[in-house]
Structures are given as C-alpha cells and as structure tokens.
Amino acid sequence: MRCSPLLLLAPLAAAFTLDISSTSSIETAASSIAYEMMTAYVGNETGEVPGLLPGSLSCDPNTVGVYCWWEAGAMWGALINYWQYTNDTTYNSVVSQALQFQRGSDNNFNPANQSRSMGIDDQVFWAFSAMDAVEANFPEAGDDDPSWLSLAQAVFNFQRSLWDTAYCGGGFRWQVYSFNAGYNLKNSISNGGNFQLSARLAYVTGNSTYGDWAEEVYDWMESSPLLEMDNSTGIFYIWDNTDTDNNCSDVQNYVWSYNYGTMLMGAAYMYNYTNGSSVWLDRVETILNSTFTLFFPSTYGGNIMFEVECEAAKNCDQDQKSFKAYLARWLAVTGLLVPSTMDSIKTKLSASATGAAGQCDVSDAECGLQWYTTTWDGTNGVGQQMAALSVVGANLIDSSMTPLTKVTGATSSSDPDAGTTATSDPAETTSKITTKDRAGAGILTVLVIGFIVGGAAWIVI
C-alpha cells in the first residue's frame, strides 16, 4: 500500500518507465502489475471460496476494496490473456480452479450464490473468459470438468431462452431474475455481451446458428434507442440502457468504454467470420471511429484511453474502474481480426500503455486510473490493475495470437447442447433483495459531460 498522503498530489517520480518497443520491458511491467493485482485474491486459500474476490458474495460497487462477481470472472480472462502474451504460467492453475468452481450446478456460470444480482452481463463476462481459454488453447482443467467451449455454449443456450419479445420487440433484460432491481431495463452490456459471445461462438465453431443469432441481437439493438447515429456530428452512440416500463421509448445517455468495446469486438468477429462482409466492416469502422473520438479525447493528446463519464472527476465506481481493461483487450483482438484497423489501434494502445505505466508506482506496481497524467490519482485496486495489465499486455499481441478456430487449431471440445436443460429458477436462493446495488447501468448519478466535436473542449455541466 502507498501510505504517505504526501504522495497524493506529488508526481510519480517513481513511476514505471515502460519501453514500449521492448518485449522484455513490457513483460516485466505486466508481470509486476499482475502480481500486485493478485494480492487482492485469497480464494485459493483454505476456507475461502475459489473464484471470488473480496465482497463478491454481496457486492456493493461503491465500496472501495470490494468487487462484484462479474469482475472476478473478467479478471480470470485477463490472466488467461496474460499467459497468452507472456507464456508465464504462474496463475494458470488458480485461473482454472476459479473458472470451474464458479461454473454453477448447470455448468453455465449461474451459481446459486449469485442469483440475487445475476445479470446477463455478469454471466457473459465469465463466458468471455472461457472463450479466451478456447481461443488460446489454454489448458483444459481436465478430469471430469467441462471443456471451456462447452461452458460458453451453455451460457449461450441459457441466455437465448431469456430473449424477451414481450416488450420492445425483443432484447435481453439486464437481470436474469425478475426479483432483482433492474429487471425492467434492457441494457447495452447485456445485449452487446450476448452479441459478442454469439459472434465468437460463430467464429470458433463455424456454426451458423450462432452467427444468425448475433445478427438478430445486433438488429434488435439497432432498432432500439440503444444504438444511435448522430448525423450532425458523425458520432455513433451506444447508450447505456432503455426501459421496458416505457416500451423502450427512452434511453439513458451514458457512454461507457466497455459498451463500445463489446460491440466493436462482436462486429470484428462477425466481419472475420463472414469472410469480410462490407456491412460488418462498416460497423467495425463506425464503432471504432466513435470509440476513438469519445474515449481517446484530443484534450489528452488523442491517444490515451479515458473513461469519459467518471475518470477526471474520480467518481468511477468499482465496476467502472475496470472498464478500460476490456476495451484494451478488445481493441487488440479487433486489430487481428480486421487487419485494416491494426495500425490505428496500435497507436492508441502503445500511448495508453505508456500512460498507464506512468500511473504505476515502481516500488509495488500499484496503479491509478488517470493514464493521461503522471500525477498519481490516489486510487488503487483490482479494476485499475486489470486495466493497466490489459493495456500493457495488449502491446505484446501479434498474429500468432489470433483467436483460434476449430479449423485453425482450437482443441476445446464442443457441446452445442450444453446447458439446454438449465432453468432460470434460482431454487437455492432463499433471500431476496429489492434493491440491486451494483451499477454500471448508469443508475448512479454521474457527471453529464458534453463533448464539443471538432474542438478540444470538454464541458462539465
């Protein structure tokens, strides 16, 4: 821990110096950042629950030091990526144990302990980590444990049964269970998450059922207010959520980097899976261009990733502090799947990694979130570590790390029927809460930030 308050406003004279042109420099930085991230994890110790971070049994994203279940799931994926980037196997067995322990009785990442806050988005982040394993031939857990691919397929099958045509002409609700607050909302990370998962399953297996489904989810989102092209500015908006109580006639105007990332990544897989469809290329470019405009503001030089709703004011919640991790990884993979985008993406990833290193303390590798300054922002935690790890590591990605498919060598065994007998009845849930604390769906009041296109100014209203 950094203990001296005097450091708070002092420049990080002792920040990492990252040589972005040196593989060994990047690997050393990634290793230190990963190590510091994992000091938060005790789930592999006696008496603890594998797979969980502190607070994951009843999370409150507004409490520093605790982490919702989904973020733990995402962290295992970041460590799979880390292994893929560096060949460092230090965390592999911990990752395997965690993913399998939290798979739930239906093998679809819906463990009963989490039903009080289980969202489509929460589940899908665990499924993304399973797909990271599939696409990199991360070692299977072995014994009788289900394959990584079948776990992701089970999530797909389970979620597809929850598609809701009764309101708004389709779409996924945020929550799996009607007793959870937020069940009325249809949000971008749930729909976009399922879209990405489906696109990845199509790409890996070649099974058109998944590709057709990804199209259907995208088409519904496009017909809903969640996706909006502002013709006057050329900015493509991916808004946070819309409400079934109003038949999805309104929308919450928040933009989050992980929503852009998840749609970009799904579109990139669809582009590659369709052997280069012009429709998907246009979507990739449209989302990518607006991602650059919104999350790499010219105010900070135009190449450093920035969580626009909350980063400058330092009021990102625990969930939001991790969002840049996903955009970083997904940009890198987009560059592989849509080669025409790689050059512009690399420019952003290298500048952002250098910026991230400037927020990391050289003595213990604790990192803050404000990558645009070398003045430490005074925060640390799993989200910040994961974001730094992902953006630094992403600079190691090369064509040998292109996601594998069944044709190009992915070995995880397929079970298209996995999870089809699962129900959404939380049989083991005895208590029920009416307020869902976790946010990320714009429930928190955040700064309303207007962006003046064409200028360099950000107005905070």
Ligand X SMILES: *[C@@H]1O[C@H](CO)[C@@H](O)[C@H](O)[C@H]1NC(C)=O
Minimum distance from CB of 374 to ligand X (Å)?
28
Q: Which stretch binds ligand X (CB under 6 A): 9-17, 41-49, 131-139, 296-304?
A: 41-49
Smallest distance from ligand X to CB 230, Å: 8
Residue 87 found at the interface with ligand X (CB under 6 A): yes
58 binds ligand X (CB under 6 A): no
Is residue 336 within the footprint of ligand X (CB under 6 A)?
A: yes
Dihedral in degrees, nearest 10, Cα atoms 237, 284, 184, 245: 50
Does position 65 interact with ligand X (CB under 6 A)? The reply is no
Q: Does 111 bind ligand X (CB under 6 A)?
A: yes
168 is an interface residue for ligand X by CB under 6 A = yes
Q: Report the residue from 11, 339, 450, 455 that binds ligand X according to the rule CB under 6 A.
A: 339
Judged by DSSP in three states, 288 sits in: helix
DSSP element (H, E) containing 384:
helix 382-394
Q: Does 33 bind ligand X (CB under 6 A)?
A: no
Residues paired with residue 238 on neighbouring β-strands, in sequence order: 227
Which positions from 422 through 441 interact with ligand X, judged by CB under 6 A? Answer: none
Residues 255-284 that bind ligand X (CB under 6 A): 272-276, 282
Residue 423's CB: how many other CB atoms inside 10 A? Answer: 10
One character per residue 359-378, x = contact with ligand X (rule: CB under 6 A): --------------------
How far apart are CB 11 and ligand X at their closest, in Å? Answer: 31
CB of 209 to ligand X, least distance (A): 4
Judge contact between 287 and 341, C-beta under 8 A.
no
Rule CB under 6 A: say whether 231 interacts with ligand X: yes
Minimum CB distance to ligand X, residue 12 (Å): 25
Nearer residue to ligand X within complex by CB, 100 or 257: 100
Residue-wise burial string across 166-194, b where 16 or more C-beta atoms lie within 10 A, e elsewhere: ebbebbbbbbbbeebbbebbbbbbbbbbb
As measured in angstroms, the least distance from the Cβ of 281 to ligand X is 8
Q: Of 45 and 425, which has the nearer Cβ to ligand X?
A: 45
Q: For residue 405, give every residue at least 6 positions away whose Cβ sits within 8 Å of its Cβ, in sequence order, or none.
A: 203, 204, 205, 206
- Determine the size of the site formed for ligand X (CB under 6 A): 35
| Token pair of 183 as six digits | 């069940």
Choice from 11, 65, 169, 455 touching ligand X (CB under 6 A):
169
Under 8 Å between Cβ of 241 and 184: no
Residue 324: closest CA among 267, 414, 269, 393: 393
Burial of 88 (0-12, 13-18, 19+ CB in 10 A): middle
When the beta carbons of 94 and 181 are compared against ligand X, the nearer one is: 94
Say whether residue 404 binds ligand X (CB under 6 A). Answer: no
Amino acid at 373: T
When asked if residue 235 is in the footprint of ligand X (CB under 6 A), the reply is no
Half-sphere exposure (CA, 13 Å, Cβ side) for 166?
6
Indicate the DSSP class of residue 164: -
Output phi, psi for 168, to 5 deg: 65, 20
d(CA 59, CA 52) in angstroms, rounded, equals 11
Going by C-beta distance under 8 Å and a sequence separation of 6 or more, which residues neighbour residue 352? 296, 303, 304, 305, 328, 371, 391
Compute the distance between CA of residue 79 and CA of residue 435 in angstroms, rounded to an integer.
Answer: 32
Q: Which of 58, 92, 315, 402 binds ligand X (CB under 6 A)?
A: 402
Q: Which is nearer to ligand X, 247 or 411 (CB)?
A: 247
Residue 8 Cβ, how far from ligand X at the closest point, in Å? 29
**Residue 307 DSSP code:** -
CB of 215 to ligand X, least distance (A): 11
Quote the CA–CA distance of 114 and 176 in Å, as a whole number: 11
Q: Contact between 215 and ligand X (CB under 6 A)?
A: no
Q: Which C-beta is closer to ligand X: that of 207 or that of 374?
A: 207
Residues near ligand X, by CB under 6 A? 38, 41, 44-45, 49, 86-87, 91, 94, 101-102, 111, 113, 168-169, 207, 209, 229, 231, 247, 272-276, 282, 285-286, 289, 336-337, 339, 399, 402, 416
